[in-house]
């Protein structure tokens, strides 16, 4: 079995509101899968169903072949979760926080220093959580998710609200975890993060997956590379690359000696998102 | 049920409660109150009551006699009005108007009048009311018709009578205040989510927290019993009542926690529920109505059970009614709690 996560027609309904609508996807072992969408798109609800926090209204999900409703206890031993909010015990030290969760999983004591080393926080064992910066707390959240040496990690908006430096460190950390063979499901509304990290990306909008592929293929399929010409007067002309209109514009401007700068611009995930949804996605970082 | 998980939650809560100053203060409140109350009781032996005396004339010897007892701080006033002013401004606990010729009348075998007014809201007036008749009889040279030998219990023994009150207070306080607060804080700070994505189940969390509550109750009760010299009577039975009471009030605490989403609503709900559970048990002897009401609250049975086991050395056969009611209450409250949790599908 090459699939770590298998999701089929998963839905979640709260009264009349359908937060997640009939989504299906599967995630290969050792890859990073991204759920990209704005706030309220259904990303966190999907993660909550996959991490057995609540059952789906319909559909099924399997983690390493185990059903999320029937085999919740077994699944919980195999997964690690980083929440979108920082839910650590503020009054306790880093060590005490990790030691508590280590005990919940019956992991060996040595695991604490191992995970702290993995996130570069081994010198902060005695510090109280409330004295740490937001970026440091996020690293401890990742350390906590690793305390049971999980095969699968669920990261809900891991870079959200962090300064650019911390966000970059967290991104690198996630990339390193993939190198260790972990399967990672990440939700984000940060397109740079999604593009950089994910092997496969699902764009989720109003509870439904509207596109799913590698970031490169998504850009190829839905985005357009653009020819960008700046004139000596400062005007900018953009036109789809390798089309008649782009060559016409270039020809006309160069004949009049108006061209100052010419370059091509690659399609971005944001372009893909806008094209598919007609909406802009807020990028916090 | 996962014992490792339950112990981990218990251990974490214990460390948190020691580190959190608020919880520590709340926990130690019954202990401090019992110490404070006992020291207040022993202090009443040495209280000097301030009283204002207006001597209408020729009774200086009576005023001096009052002063010589050492029980009163005498303020002699020049008029009845001045004495009243001192009473109304709470400078004295009582005033005494001595009529003209009071001492001479007593000496001649007459029965003169003495006008006394006390401020019942001044705690010291209690001491005055307990002593003034004896002092006046002594001054008049009169004796009681019988010889009374009045003894009070040694100070160490007196405090033991308050133990059931403080233990009941502790059991209710921890079960209904600390437990809901630790649970709702986990909900509010969303640390509960992190626990519940681990192998810990909702049941494990409830067992862990309840075990923590039970441990705290027993530990603080033992501290109170130790401080007040209460290791007397049927101690095992006392302990049994503490455990039964603790599980019952922990059940109520869990109900409160399941209906509260945050710390402040849990505190409010706990405070509202606590008074009707504590007061009837304490005030049952004041009137028949209160006694009937007290039969409806479980704290009465715990209070009476602890009191009888400790002070009367009562055994299990003497305490069947109290034990029976507490058992029934435990079954009822846990049936209700599990039904509510099932319906709500979360804590």
Most confident among A71-80, A215-224, B127-136, B141-150 (mean pLDDT): A71-80
Q: Is the pTM of this model over 0.90?
A: no
Q: Which two three-digit tokens encode residue A116?
A: 């702290």
pLDDT < 50 regions, chain B: none
Backbone phi, psi, residue A184, to 5°: -130, 130
Residue A81 touches partner B, C-beta closer than 8 Å: yes
* Range of A144-153, A226-235, B158-167 with top mean pLDDT: A144-153
When pLDDT is averaged across residues A111-117 and rounded to a whole number, the result is: 95
CA nearest to B55, candidates B47, B68, B64: B64
Q: What DSSP string runs through A216-255? A: HHHHHHH---EEEEEETTS-EEEEETTSHHHHHHHHHHHH
Residues A78-102, mean pLDDT to the nearest whole number: 95
pLDDT band at residue A140 under the 50/70/90 scheme: very high
Are A92 and B7 within 8 A, CB to CB? Answer: no
Residues 15-34 of B with CB under 8 A from A: 15-16, 19-20
Contact A81 B195 (CB under 8 A): no
Distance, in angstroms, between A72 CA and closest chain B CA? Answer: 8
Can you give the pLDDT at residue B131?
A: 87
CB contact under 8 A, A87 and B19: no
Domain annotation for chain B: domains and CATH numbers: 3-40+156-344 (no CATH), 47-139 (3.40.1710.10)
Tokens at B320, concatenated: 């069947």
Structure-block tokens of residue B249: 């009030």
For residue B203, the chain A residues in CB contact (below 8 A) are none
Domains of chain A: 3-220 (3.40.50.300), 224-266 (no CATH)
Residue B320 Ramachandran class (φ > 0 left, ψ -120 to 50 alpha, else beta): alpha
Residue A283: band (very low, low, confident or very high) from pLDDT cuts 50, 70, 90: very low
Residue A210 confidence (pLDDT) above 50:
yes
Please determine, for residue A285, whether its predicted confidence score (pLDDT) is greater than 70.
no
Look at B15 and A148 and tell me if their CB atoms are within 8 Å: no
To 10 degrees, what angle do helices B21-43 and B202-227 make? Answer: 20
Mean pLDDT for A5-18 is 93
Whether the CB of B91 is below 8 Å from some CB of chain A: the reply is: no
Q: Give me the pLDDT at residue B323, please.
A: 94
What confidence score (pLDDT) does residue A270 get?
84
Is-contact B210 B243, C-beta < 8 A? no
Q: For testing the chain A interface, which of B5, B10, B185, B199 should be mutated: the one with the most A CBs within 10 Å?
A: B199
Which residues on B lie below 8 Å from A88 (Cβ)? 191, 194
Minimal C-alpha gap between A168 and chain B (Å) = 25
Report how far Cα A68 is from the mean position of its chain's Cα atoms: 21
> Residue B198 and residue A90: Cβ atoms within 8 Å?
no
Q: Based on C-alpha coordinates, what's the Rg of chain A?
A: 22
Produce one character per residue of A72-106: b if its CB has 16 or more CB atoms within 10 Å, e if not. Answer: beebbebbbbbbbebbbbbbbbbbbbbbbbbbbbe
Which residue does chain B place closest to A89, by CA atoms? B191
Q: Using a CB-CB distance cutoff of 8 angstroms, which residues of chain B are in contact with residue A106?
A: 4
CA distance B5 to chain A (A): 5
- A90-104, A210-224, A258-272: which is most confident: A90-104
| Helix, coil or strand: residue A188 | strand
């Amino acid at each position: 079995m090459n699939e770590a996560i298998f999701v089929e027609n998963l839905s979640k309904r709260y009264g009349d509101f359908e937060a997640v609508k009939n989504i299906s996807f599967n995630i290969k072992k050792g890859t990073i899968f991204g759920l990209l969408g704005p706030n309220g798109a259904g990303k966190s609800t999907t993660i909550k169903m996959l991490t057995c926090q609540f059952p789906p209204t319909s559909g099924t999900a399997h983690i390493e072949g185990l059903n999320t409703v029937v085999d919740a206890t077994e699944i919980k031993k195999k997964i690690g979760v980083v929440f979108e909010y920082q839910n650590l015990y503020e009054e306790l030290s880093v060590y005490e926080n990790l030691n508590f969760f280590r005990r919940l999983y019956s992991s060996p004591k040595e695991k604490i220093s191992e995970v702290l080393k993995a996130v570069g926080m081994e010198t902060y064992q005695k510090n109280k959580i409330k004295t740490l910066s937001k970026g440091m707390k996020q690293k401890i959240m990742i350390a906590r998710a690793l305390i049971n040496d999980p095969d699968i990690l669920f990261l809900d908006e891991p870079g959200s609200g962090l300064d650019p430096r911390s966000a970059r460190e967290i991104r690198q950390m996630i990339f390193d975890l993939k190198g260790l063979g972990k399967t990672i499901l990440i939700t984000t509304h940060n397109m740079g993060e999604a593009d950089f990290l994910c092997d496969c990306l699902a764009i989720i909008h109003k509870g439904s997956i509207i596109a799913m592929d590698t970031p490169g293929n998504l850009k190829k399929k839905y985005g357009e590379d653009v020819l960008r010409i700046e004139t000596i007067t400062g005007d900018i002309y953009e036109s789809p690359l390798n089309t008649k209109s782009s060559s016409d514009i270039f020809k006309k401007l160069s004949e009049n000696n108006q061209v100052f700068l010419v370059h091509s611009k690659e399609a971005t995930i944001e372009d893909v998102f806008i094209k598919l949804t007609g909406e802009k996605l807020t990028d916090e970082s | 049920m996962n014992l490792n998980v339950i112990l981990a939650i218990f251990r974490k809560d214990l460390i948190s409660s020691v580190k959190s100053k608020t919880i520590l203060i709340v926990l130690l409140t019954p202990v401090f109150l019992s110490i404070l109350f006992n020291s207040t009781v022993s202090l009443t032996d040495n209280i000097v009551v301030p009283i204002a005396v207006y001597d209408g004339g020729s009774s200086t010897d009576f005023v001096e006699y009052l002063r010589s007892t050492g029980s009163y701080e005498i303020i002699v006033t020049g008029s009845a009005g001045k004495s009243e002013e001192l009473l109304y401004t709470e400078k004295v606990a009582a005033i005494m108007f001595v009529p003209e010729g009071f001492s001479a009348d007593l000496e001649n075998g007459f029965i003169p009048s003495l006008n006394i007014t006390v401020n019942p809201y001044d705690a010291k007036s209690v001491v005055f009311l307990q002593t003034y008749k004896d002092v006046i009889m002594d001054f008049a040279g009169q004796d009681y018709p019988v010889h009374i030998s009045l003894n009070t219990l040694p100070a160490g023994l007196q405090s033991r009578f308050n133990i059931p009150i403080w233990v009941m207070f502790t059991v209710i306080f921890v079960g209904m205040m600390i437990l809901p607060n630790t649970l709702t804080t986990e909900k509010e700070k969303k640390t509960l989510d992190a626990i519940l994505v681990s192998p810990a189940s909702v049941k494990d969390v409830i067992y862990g927290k309840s075990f923590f509550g039970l441990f705290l109750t027993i530990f603080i009760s033992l501290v109170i019993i130790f401080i007040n010299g209460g290791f007397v009577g049927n101690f095992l039975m006392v302990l049994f009542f503490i455990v039964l009471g603790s599980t019952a009030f922990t059940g109520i605490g869990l109900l409160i926690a399941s209906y509260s989403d945050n710390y402040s609503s849990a505190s409010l709900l706990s405070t509202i529920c606590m008074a009707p559970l504590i007061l009837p048990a304490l005030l049952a002897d004041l009137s028949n109505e209160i006694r009937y009401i007290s039969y409806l609250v479980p704290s009465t049975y715990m209070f009476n059970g602890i009191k009888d086991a400790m002070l009367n050395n009562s055994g299990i056969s003497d305490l069947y009614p109290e034990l029976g009611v507490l058992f029934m209450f435990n079954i009822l409250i846990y049936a209700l709690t599990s039904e509510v949790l099932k319906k709500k599908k979360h804590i």
